[in-house]
Structure 1
Amino acid sequence: MSYDGVGPRAVMRSVAFLTAGALAVPLLAGCGSDEDEAGKPLAGQDIAPAARELVADGGTLKWAVDAVPETLNTFQADADAATGRVAQAVLPSMFRLDASGRPVANPAYLESAKVIETEPRQVVLYKLNQQAVWSDGREIGAADFVAQWRALSGKNSAYWTARNAGYDRIAKIERGANDLQVRVTFDRPYADWRSLFSPLYPKDVMGTPDAFNDGARRKLNVTAGPFKVEKVDTAKKDVVLTRNPRWWGKPAKLNQIVLHAVARDKRAAALADGSVDLAEVDTAEAQRIGLATREKGTGTPLQGSGKTSAKKLRSWALAHGFDSDEVHAGDKKLRKAITRYLDQQQALRDFEVRKSLEPAYTQLALNGSTGPLADERVRRAVARALDREELARLVLAPLGLPAVPVGSHLALAGQAAYADNSGAIGDQDTKEAQALIADAGWVRGGPVKEPKKPEKAAGPERKSEDTSEGGSDGEYIVGEDDKNQDDKNRDDGQDEAQEDGPDEVQEEEARSAARYEGRDASRDDRRGDGKGKHHESADDKREHGDHLARESRHGGAPGAYAPQGTAAPAAAPAGPFAKNGKALALRFVLPSGPGSDTLNTVAERISTMLEQVGIRTTITKVSDESYFKDHIAAGDYDLALYSWPSSAFPATDARPVYAKPLPAADGSVNVEQNYTRVGTDQVDQLFDQAATTLDEDEAKDLIRKADARIWAAAGSVPLYQRPQLVGARKNLVNAGAFGFQTPVYEDMGYLKKGAKVSPSPSVK
């Protein structure tokens, strides 16, 4: 689970989904099983595909990751996305995902795998590729399957495992007719058997608790992929993978893949200085890479006599996303910063942005355990207040990606289980949302007992707080620090107008505007009440969202705003809903670190939508370190935004996320991964049935029925599929924005000199 990035499914299937459930909803009609409902992925891969004969032999690919992994064992609790990336390159996977996110047999390891018996028990027969061997020369075989099953079955607590789903259903594993056959017998039917043994570790790792717990944390001595682990260098923040000389498949084109840890907001600079060749980037950094290509031959503020005023340099720096410390650091430091930025822009001309949609989606989580949202009717009202199409456009349309709201909690467009079940809650409808709130006992404009406060200027009642350590440096949200910084920036602009003349300033702003797609040439001032606080109308908020998108180059969502001409929402009637002297107010908790701008922009728009139906929101920003642990997992929030990856095996992966919270022996409540604390026996039963049927059409229908009930409960509201933006060296091929599909590591490399390939369309 993540709010700023999502690891691959192989890392931790136990946390592969989001939370929701259904409370006292009527039996809903099941969705049809028509294959057309799943459709195609909204966006395809963008990896600069090239035939192997066009790829040069040799070279090193430096690939950015968030951190050096704490463990190389994907089945441990602290495994992360980098752990999964290593496993994909160096270990067997019996099944991998295709372009539609569906599991397909991996021919490098399997000749076939199928259910050969269902009575009296389910038996799966694996026929292994006869060339498949571990790097020590030993054949991959039944002994490795047995060791992994015993380690992950959950029967031996000495193994520190993070998950055992599926392995706990196996009754026995034995050798088949020969050494290349493995028979797996289940004591209970298991529909998601293809999820098992991907990755498969050697018996050396799985054979004993000590080897499992400690032996594979920093090294993997025995592997069986196109690459092997050469070393983990924590000092250099590198994991070095080299060609596996015992690989029996097509040899890897690259000599090395170096996974190098780089902070998200430093990746454009890392690409520019050669630290990495491939990096997932946020929207602002992606726009900066695109800007480098578009700005070829354009002038810079340091050209000419070199006497450009400091005020004009500050204006240019602000327009190009420099942070406040850089802008106001002094003339010499600012000039150095601009010089460094321009040098980086020159280097970034060798890169391009490859884009697709991640196999993950962002959703609005509603904590149903306490407060107003414990009432299902209020949760439904929140869901009915949202214009999900507008929110999808806000994030995706400026990137040229399909702005289609996600219609399922359990799958994404293109996956077999996908169907748009959002009709179970209904479309955006202000009157219906207000009726639901009224039915829950809240009165619009009812009396509110509040302590007297200083008189405020007219405007929405929404507040914004920042409880993060060190604040957010004015980057993320409409808090008081941000507004005061806006005042300072605006005052600087006014001073510059006095020094340089309004025409010069306007010309410079226009030139800066021309460099940014969607940047407005003018901006209305916000009104102050003379007390250091600003109150924004709906139009002001929309404008401020645009301002954030334009001015932040560290983790923001530049250009992420509604298309020009979008009508402003009608002004909300005076007064919120109230009950028992208390206003209907919700606490919206958000992260404050780099990469959070998109979430903050979306949260602002959601808050505006809720105001229209009479629901107050208070936005609270917290540090990245505490966001999940102290707030989401602890249940200390009313509303929150975070993302979950999709899964090819929702019957298994969604179960702990939607499981009905149950009392534990110590009096606490076990929520597993159900962080909205909303669940029902009905939804649990549907997942259990889907996990045990071997009829794929029946399983798909059960998953869709479960999703419809989850929608009706409104414990969470899927919003949009996350954009996948990857900065890549232009001559790097078969790598980039992979979408659903598992990367083919042996085909990655650099284009031969003089060879050309056609660009791959990222959107279908």
Structure 2
Amino acid sequence: MSYDGVGPRSVMRSVAFLAAGALAVPLLAGCGAEDEPSKPLAAQDIAPAARASIADGGTLRWAVDAVPETFNAFQSDADATTARVAQAVLPSMYRLDANGRARRNPDYLESAKVVGTEPRQVVLYKLNQQAVWSDGREIGAADFAAQWRALSGKDSAYWTARNAGYDRIEKIERGDNDLEVRVTFDRPYSDWQSLFSPLYPKDVMGTPSSFNDGARGSLKVTAGPFLVKKVDRKKKQVRLARNPRWWGHQAKLQEIDLKAVAREDRAAELAAGKIDLAEIDPAAVERIDGAAKGSAGPLSGPGAGRTAAKALRSWALAHGSDEEAAEDETRARKKLTKAIAKWEKQQKALRDFEVRRSLEPAYTQLALNGANGPLADERVRRAVARALDRKELAALVLKPLGLPAVPVGSHLALSGQEAYADSSGALGGQDTAEAQALLADAGWVPGGPVKEEKKKDEEAAGAEGRTADEDESEGSEESEESEGDDESEGTYIVGEDDKARALDEYESGSRADDKGRAEDEHGYGPGSREGDEGRDENRQLAQEGAQHAPGAYAPKGTAAPAGAAGGVLAKNGKALSLRFVLPSGPGSEPLRTVAARISRMLLKVGIRTETVKVSDESYFKDHVASGEYDLALYSWPASAFPATDARPIYSKPVPAADGSLSVEQNYTRVGTDQVDQLFDRALAALDAGEERSLIRKADSRIWAAAGSIPLYQRPQLTAARKNLVNAGAFGFQTPVYEDMGFLKKGAKAAPGPSASSS
């Protein structure tokens, strides 16, 4: 799991599901082209080059988010860097191709196939006879068996994060010779190709103590083109070096240094020549693209927001009669001059880099918490979904980056993968009238009376609603359910309270923005442009809220006149307002922009949102995972094995032994028995076509339940030194580490497809 900027995991009522008959037509529409393979929306962008054109040696300095807490990919605190190291130094029986499909890795596996199904499923692996661990020992059945025992879930002494698939194995034994491994399953398992990737040596998997602690700090025994040379946590660096025992193509690079660099610091680190490859945010993309176009000066850097009037005022202050003000302004002008010079120098250095663009094998979704509150009603969830223009949301994020702005049509696969089919028809597209009809059917009445909450209840709600994280977040909005002051107790204005509140929030935001602009008079241009965009968004939202208000005076408790459009939606005296929780960190601007647009779309059908911004550190753990939200935005990675990997995300929550609710990774708390049954059947289907069909049916039912709404595939933006090849925005494909390197002098990379190709 991950939300944008991060890469990556209550009591639930029974969820009512639509009758099977009501789904029949949408299901057929969603699966009509299942025999036609889809294509990735964007090709990978890695500057491909033949090995003959790549220089031998060199060090690739690659920015990562952090030095991993563990190098054991099967532990709960494993992260993206754990996976990156494992790909470079450990065996994988299968790896993903450019279409996100699993392909046999010939460096380790000569063949693998199902050799029997009755009475048990049996898979026979034939290993590459040259495959050895870095200590010289052959890779064999003992390593497979040790990993199975560790991950089977039968011994709780192993602190494993997952055991999917391994829990279906009955036994592992040596085949006819040392190069054969025979795996027998006690239950059919369609995703058997997902197993043993990565494969750890028996030295790591053999005992609980070695599994729990042996691979946390480093990896002593490996079997890839690279090995772990040094882990320096003080310098926040992991150094990988060529494996002298590697039997495949020798790695072109001598070393790969994975360096922990904060996202906001990466542009400066690239310019300083300290890193060669880094995933970056849109602001850094703008800088590198600007450097390529020659815009190295103040038009795109410090002081970019200064108008002629501001410059004249600055000069007047510096040369005015107020000595103290003149001294302050002179210091500020000198500071700005230095900042401009530094910016120009960095921009010139950034001309050695380019941005490589693709789409991540991950998608961002809107999650709707169905555990309680208004969203426990499936009709309200469906209304939220029908209010959204997913094409507009995808374009908002992807179009400015030159990437294809196509909404994701599946929860379980992405375009290009074998299981992909657009099943969104099971829910339906944007339809304001249908959304309003669903809300009316659920009892939410436009302009209905809203009960005045008791003061003590407001105070209690306020104390509960304001967490420490929200107090620290400058962007947090106050609850929109607070009543007016005592002077207006006898009457209220139908809809006018919404207009006043929306305009007050906009004016408050404008004042904050004005203050920010004053403080940032000598600051960076991109920041001020983002502020302008945010004010425009808020202004439009406030104006639309005002437009919905009829403005008619009426005694308190009087329903709105018939036909009054867009006022407060209420039910049983309570206004319809959803708590939209968002991360507040600098890397999450895209999420907040999308959330603002979603709020505008929901307001058009009468659904108000209360935006609550919390720290990045607490966002997922304290809010999403714990169910403390109504609406949230976060991302899930795509998998070549959705029957295995997606099941815990969409399985129906069940009561645990201690009385709590076990949700696994289903943080929306929305699930059905039908979806669970389809996943179970897919896991047991050894025919690939049957498995795909079942996965697509499960996806249609997930769409219909409206617990989560896929929006767009995440952008993958990578800054790379221009002479670095076979590296960058990989898209679906597992990186081929031994082919990465720097071009020989005079050599050129092969022309690659553009990010927008399909």
| Equivalent residue number for residue 80 of structure 1 | 79
Match of 2:697 in 1: 705
- Partners of 1:190 and 1:232 lie apart in 2 by 38
1: distance between equivalents of 2:404 and 2:330?
39
Deviation at 1:282, TM superposition (A): 1.1
Q: Is the 8 A contact 2:218 2:231 kept in 1?
A: yes
Aligned to 1:665: 657
Residues 189 and 95 (structure 1 numbering): CA distance in 2 closer, same or farther, change over 3 Å? same
Q: How does 1:190-205 map to 2 (within 5 A)?
A: 190-205=189-204
The one-letter code sitting in structure 1 at the alignment partner of 2:540 is: S
Question: Is this contact kept in 1: 2:5–2:587, CA < 8 A?
Answer: no
Structure 1 partner of 2:105: 106
Deviation sequence 1:503-558 (CA, Å, 0-9, x none): xxxxx99xx89x99xx79999988xxxxxxx973348799xxxxxxxxxxxxxxxx
* Secondary structure at the counterpart of residue 145 of structure 2: helix
Question: Counterparts in 2 of 1:582-731, with a 5 A limit?
Answer: 582-731=574-723
Displacement of 1:266: 1.2
Among 431, 438, 441, which residue is 1:439 paired with? Answer: 441
Give the Å deviation of 1:337. Answer: 2.9
2:512 corresponds, among 485, 489, 494, to: 485
Within 5 A, what are the aligned runs for 1:446-525? Answer: 446-450=448-452, 468=469, 471=472, 483-488=510-515
Structure 1: distance between partners of 2:687 and 2:278: 41
Q: Which amino acid is 2:583 matched to?
A: P
1:313/1:152 CA distance change after superposition, 3 Å: farther
Report the CA distance between 1:406 and its aligned residue: 0.3
Deviations along 1:107-163, whole A, 9 cap, x unmatched? 000000010101110000000001101111111000100010011011111111111
The letter for the 1-side match of 2:139 is: I
Provide closer, same or farther for how the CA distance between residues 373 and 520 of structure 1 changes in structure 2, counting only shifts above 3 A: closer
Letter in 2 for 1:201: Y
Q: Give 1:385's aligned residue.
A: 387
Aligned partner letter, 1:148? Q
Out of 325, 334, 337, which is 1:335 matched to? 337
Q: Is the 8 A contact 2:270 2:350 kept in 1?
A: yes
- Residues 1:405 and 2:398 aligned together: no
Counterpart residue identity of residue 251, structure 2:
A
Distance 1:708 1:302 in 2: 48
**Structure 2 counterpart SS, 1:447:** coil
Q: How far did 1:4 drift?
A: 2.4
TM-score (norm: length of structure 1): 0.83
Task: Specify the code of the residue in structure 1 equivalent to 2:752.
Answer: S
Any conservation in 2 of the 1:401–1:763 contact (CA below 8 Å)? yes
- 1:183, 1:63 → 2: CA distance? 39
Question: In structure 1, the residue corresponding to 2:735 is in which secondary structure?
Answer: coil
The structure with the largest helix share of the pair is 2
CA distance in 2, matches of 1:384, 1:264: 35
Deviation at 1:727, TM superposition (A): 0.6
Counterparts of 2:568 and 2:278 in 1: how far apart (Å)? 45
Counterpart amino acid of 1:615? I
Output one character per residue of 1:575-630: Cα deviation in whole Å (capped at 9) or x when no partner.
12111111111000000012111000000000000000000101000001110111
C-alpha change, 1:226 and 1:627, in structure 2 (3 Å) is same
1:188 aligned to 2:215? no
CA contact (8 A) 2:143 2:202 kept: yes
Instruction: Give the drift of 1:331.
Output: 3.5
Asked whether the 8 Å contact 1:23–1:679 carries over to 2, the reply is no
CA displacement 1:476-521 (0-9 Å, x = unmatched): 998888533322356689x99xxxxxxxxxxx99xx89x99xx799
Question: Displacement of 1:345 after TM fit?
Answer: 1.3
Aligned residues of 1:264 and 1:594 also touching (Cα < 8 A): no
| C-alpha distance 142-747 of structure 1, shift in aligned 2 (>3 A) | same
Alignment coverage as a number of residue pairs: 679
Inter-partner Cα distance in structure 2 for 1:412 and 1:540: 37
Question: Under a length normalisation based on structure 2, what TM-score does the superposition of the two structures give?
Answer: 0.84
State the match for 2:488 in structure 1: none
3-state secondary structure, aligned to 2:715: strand
How far apart are residue 295 of structure 1 and its match?
2.4
Q: Which residue of 2 aligns with 1:358?
A: 360
- Name the larger-Rg structure: 2
Q: Who is 1:573 aligned against? A: 565
SS at match of 2:587: coil
Q: Is the 1:572–1:613 contact (alpha carbons within 8 Å) kept by the matching residues of 2?
A: no
Kept after mapping to 2: 8 A contact 1:572/1:612: no
Identity of aligned residues (%): 70
RMSD: 3.4
> What is the DSSP-based 3-state SS (H/G/I as helix, E as strand, rest coil) of the residue aligned with 1:77?
coil
Cα distance in 2 for partners of 1:428, 1:283 equals: 28
Residues 20 and 715, structure 1, Cα contact 8 Å, conserved in 2: no
| CA shift for structure 1 position 104 | 0.5
Deviations 1:647-676 (A, max 9, x none): 100101111111111111211111111101
Task: Look up the equivalent residue of 1:638 and give its one-letter code.
Answer: D
Secondary structure at the aligned position of 1:395 is classed as helix
Matched-pair contact (CA < 8 Å) for 1:76–1:160:
yes
CA contact (8 A) 2:151 2:166 kept: yes
Residue in 1 aligned with 2:428?
A: 426
Distance in 1 between residues matched to 2:689 and 2:515, nearest whole Å: 61
Q: Note if contact 1:6-1:644 (Cα within 8 Å) is conserved in structure 2.
A: no
- SS of the aligned residue for 2:644 comes to helix
Query: Which residue identity is paired with 1:374?
Result: A
* Shift in CA distance, 537/153, structure 1 to aligned 2, threshold 3 Å: same
The one-character-per-residue Cα deviations of 1:418-449 (angstroms, maximum 9, x if unpaired) are 11010011110011000000101111111112
Q: Following TM superposition, by how much is the alpha carbon of 1:330 offset from its aligned partner in structure 2, in angstroms?
A: 3.5
Unaligned ranges ≥5, structure 1: 9-14, 316-326, 454-463, 497-507, 527-533, 543-570
Separation in structure 1 between the aligned mates of residue 35 and residue 683 of structure 2, nearest angstrom: 23
Gaps of 5+ in 2: 315-328, 456-464, 479-504, 546-562
Please, which of 348, 366, 369 is the counterpart of residue 367 of structure 1?
369
Q: How does 1:319-334 map to 2 (within 5 A)?
A: 330-334=332-336
Q: Tell me the secondary structure at the aligned position of residue 383 of structure 1.
A: helix
